[in-house]
Amino acid sequence: MTTPRWRALSSSDPSLGATQRWRLDVAYDGLAFRGFAYQPHHDTVVGLLRSTIAKTLRLEHEPVIVGAGRTDSGVHAFRQVVHVDLPRQAKVRSLESERLIASLNKQLRGRIQVLHAEPVSHEFHARFSATWREYRYLVLESQEPGLETTNAWSWSVEGPLDLTAMNRVASEVVGTHDFRAFCRRPSNSNVGEPLLRRVLDARWERLEDEWIMSPRHAPVVRLTIRAQSFCHNMVRCLTSTMVAIGQGSLPEETIRERLASLSRHQLPSAAPAAGLALIGVGYDTFAR
């Protein structure tokens, strides 16, 4: 039997029978954190979860937490998935899912909300077992010329936007492509290494019934994009480029040309983080 490729990344060795793996589904306001991943001396989602779990369960050491994907500073999550290996001690064994959720949420005080918790097998891995991730980006169509601002949950741009054109170019990112023109390369990767990602769906829609959440009653448009995985800044870079196309400041051929040329030269800066939210993670093999 082949050893799963993530076995070496586990927070403890499941072959010893010393731990129980738990899946947690969590939500958070990204503006409150310096990103998702653990950073010593910085307030991050993983950092707060580690310290809160250790305090709640009276663990000797903070546990390692693995997430389905990293969100940047300022990016929100309505349903992020993590796993954590907890010691098989009496206090943890006796916990029921609802009691664990209630105990953690009491300590987290609303900064992070635990939506779901369940014990799972060690074959489950929050990152490598995931078959898709889905993000949404909210854009407000301002009628004020030259206005470009952000609030806690959206990006205001000068409208109106041509959603028909934006959907045409959104369809061009569906499929497997090298997204080097729309991603920030990881520091530990080779400059010439492709950044291949498979996008399953990408679409824009106008949310006529959600005007109340926008200042000055500006119309709200939403990008929903699902992929097997994303590279760094991919959704925000695609969003800013598609918005520029919707405004008429870039030709529709831009997306197709840059996927072919791999060049980011003179493309717009990434859209602001605050408009982006992770809204779901899919696991075809595992429950929920």
* pLDDT tens sequence across 62-103: 999 999 999 988 999 999 999 999 987 746 655 688 989 999
The model's pLDDT over 237-270, given as tens digits with 9 standing for 90+, comes to 999 999 999 999 999 999 999 999 999 899 999 9
Residue 38: the pLDDT is 86
What's the rounded mean pLDDT across residues 221-236? 96
User: Which of these ranges, 46-60, 142-156, 173-187, 235-249, has the smallest mean pLDDT?
Assistant: 142-156
What architecture does CATH give domain 19-129? Answer: 2-Layer Sandwich (3.30)
Interatomic CA distance for residues 242 and 249, integer angstroms: 10
Residue type, 58: R
Q: Is the pLDDT of residue 280 over 90?
A: yes
- Write out the E strands in the chain: 19-28, 65-67, 76-87, 112-120, 132-142, 149-150, 155-158, 175-178, 196-206, 220-227, 276-282
- Start-to-end C-alpha separation, the chain: 26
User: In CATH terms, are 19-129 and 132-281 the same topology?
Assistant: yes
pLDDT, the chain, mean: 87
Residue 188: the pLDDT is 73
User: For the whole prediction, is pTM greater than 0.85?
Assistant: yes
Q: Is the pLDDT of residue 166 over 90?
A: yes
What's the rounded mean pLDDT across residues 217-238? 93
Q: Name the band, by pLDDT with cuts 50, 70 and 90, for residue 212.
A: very low
Q: Name the band, by pLDDT with cuts 50, 70 and 90, for residue 285.
A: confident
For the chain, domain boundaries: 19-129, 132-281
Catalytic status, residue 72: yes
Residue 224: the pLDDT is 98
Residue 90: the pLDDT is 46
Residue 234: the pLDDT is 97
Residue 79: the pLDDT is 97
CATH number of this structure's domain 132-281: 3.30.70.660
Q: Is the pLDDT of residue 211 over 80?
A: no
Other Cβ atoms less than 10 A from the Cβ of 269: the count is 9
What's the rounded mean pLDDT across residues 166-186? 94
Q: Which of the following is catalytic: 13, 25, 43, 72?
A: 72
